[in-house]
Amino acid sequence: MGRQRSGGPVRREPVRGEPLRAGLIGFGAMGRNHARVLGGLPGVELVGVVDPLGGAGPCGVPVLRELDRLLALGIDYAVVACPTAGHEGVGLRLAGAGVPALIEKPLAPDSRAAGRLVAAFDGLVAGVGQVERYNPALQQLRTRLAAGELGEVYQVSTRRQGPFPQRIADVGVVQDLATHDIDLTGWITGQAYASVAARTVRKSGRPHEDMVAVVGTLADGTMVSHLVNWLSPQKERQVAVTGERGCLVADTLTGDLTLHANGAVATEWELVRAFRGVTEGDVVRYAFPKREPLLSEHEQFREAVAGRPATIVPLAEGLRTVTVAESVLAAAGRPVPLEVTG
């Protein structure tokens, strides 16, 4: 479950049969969602929240202004949901105290800081809050891809757009929203990114980008594309995987997964018949249990802290996602101009 680090406060050892004592750092919009889930999670007691603004906590849980006061309460693990810029400092303090941590995505604002967190938590239970991995539609999609239901995969295309969330102030849309798409693409395909190209724009008056279009390739040659923005009044969360047998489309807002299969029905349309595999086939929307992804994420992290089998996102994979996001931002600064003629 972890080990005590020299020089830090003494970490409470969990008592068998008693709930795990959890602490939460950050009580903004995402922090409140974490507090809601932690407050009702069997086998866990939320004992304190850290937020510099203070205020009232959930269900009588104290809101503390300093991390030291939370550590003094004695906690078995912590959830880090403060702004991204604070992840490294808070994470290093927790690691030094031997406290396991679930750190919200992105793991850190840059790969150097993310690497320091990976090293600091070596030997401790620690994970990144890539909540989309617990979305039932994406779990079903990943399982079906692994089973070869689409045959060879040609492309992964994602669309993640909606209005600007006022809670985000320290990073742009690439490090915030796009890290979902970067992580889930590698996860559902089992492939690393091989190359990326990108274009960003700033239209909201903020110092960070609020729209990005990314194209790239994975290690096996699969094409990827991501369209992500904070400028659309339409909220959209879609992942489409196209392969030789059709297209699987996941809507992560509703948890739906739909198959658009290539058909075997002969067509008399000469133009269509000229292309292999584009005949219209069955459209199937799959039925499967749909649990809240954030709840599933917390259940898995609880099990990991308790020393039981669990599936969490390792910090090393969070570092990989941050590194790809950095590459996207670097690529966005190198557009290739074309001569306009005519």
Task: Return the CATH fold of 20-130+295-312.
Answer: Rossmann fold (3.40.50)
> How much is the average pLDDT of 213-241?
96
Q: What is the pLDDT of residues 94-113, one digit of tens each?
A: 999 999 999 999 999 999 99
Q: What is the pLDDT of residues 167-220, one digit of tens each?
A: 666 789 999 999 999 999 999 999 999 999 999 999 888 888 999 999 999 999
The per-residue pLDDT for 53 is: 80
Cα angle 247, 248, 252; round to 5 = 145
For the chain, the helix, strand and coil percentages under 3-state DSSP, each to the nearest 5 = 30, 25, 40
How many Cβ atoms are within 10 Å of 45's Cβ, its own excluded?
15
| CB 288 within 8 Å of CB 295 | no
> How much is the average pLDDT of 132-140?
98
Residue 200's nearest CA partner among 163, 180, 226 is 226
Task: List CB contacts of 191: < 8 A, sequence separation 6 or more.
Answer: 218, 219, 220, 222
Task: Return the CATH fold of 136-254+256-289.
Answer: Dihydrodipicolinate Reductase; domain 2 (3.30.360)
Kindly report the pTM of this predicted structure.
Answer: 0.89
What are the residue ranges of CATH 3.40.50.720 in the chain? Answer: 20-130+295-312
> How much is the average pLDDT of 301-316?
98
Measured distance CA(126)–CA(168) in Å, rounded = 24
DSSP bridge pairs for 45 = 21
- pLDDT band at residue 60 using 50, 70 and 90 as cut-offs: confident
What are the residue ranges of CATH 3.30.360.10 in the chain? Answer: 136-254+256-289
Measured distance CA(227)–CA(209) in Å, rounded = 13
